[in-house]
Amino acid sequence: MSDLSESSGHPELLVAEPLVRTEIKIGYARVSSGGQKLDRQIDALTAAGCRKIFADKKSGKSTLRPELKACRAFLDAGDALVVPSLDRYGRSLQDLINMIAELRERGIRFTSLHENLDTTTPGGRLVFHVFAALACHGHDHSTESGAPSAIAARQRSTWPVTSSMNQHMIS
Residues 41 and 31: their CA atoms lie apart, in Å, by: 9
Has residue 111 got a pLDDT over 60?
yes
Q: Which position among 8, 32, 85, 171 bears the catalytic label?
A: 32
Domains of the chain: 2-170 (3.40.50.1390)
**SS3 (DSSP) at 62:** coil
Nearest Cα neighbor of 58 from 32, 26, 83 is: 32
Higher local confidence (pLDDT), 22 or 69: 69
User: Smallest Cα–Cα separation from 151: which of 120, 124, 112?
Assistant: 112
Confidence of residue 20 (pLDDT cuts 50, 70, 90): low
Catalytic annotation present for 32: yes
The type of residue at 166 is N
Flag the least confident range among 34-38, 82-86, 127-131, 143-147: 143-147
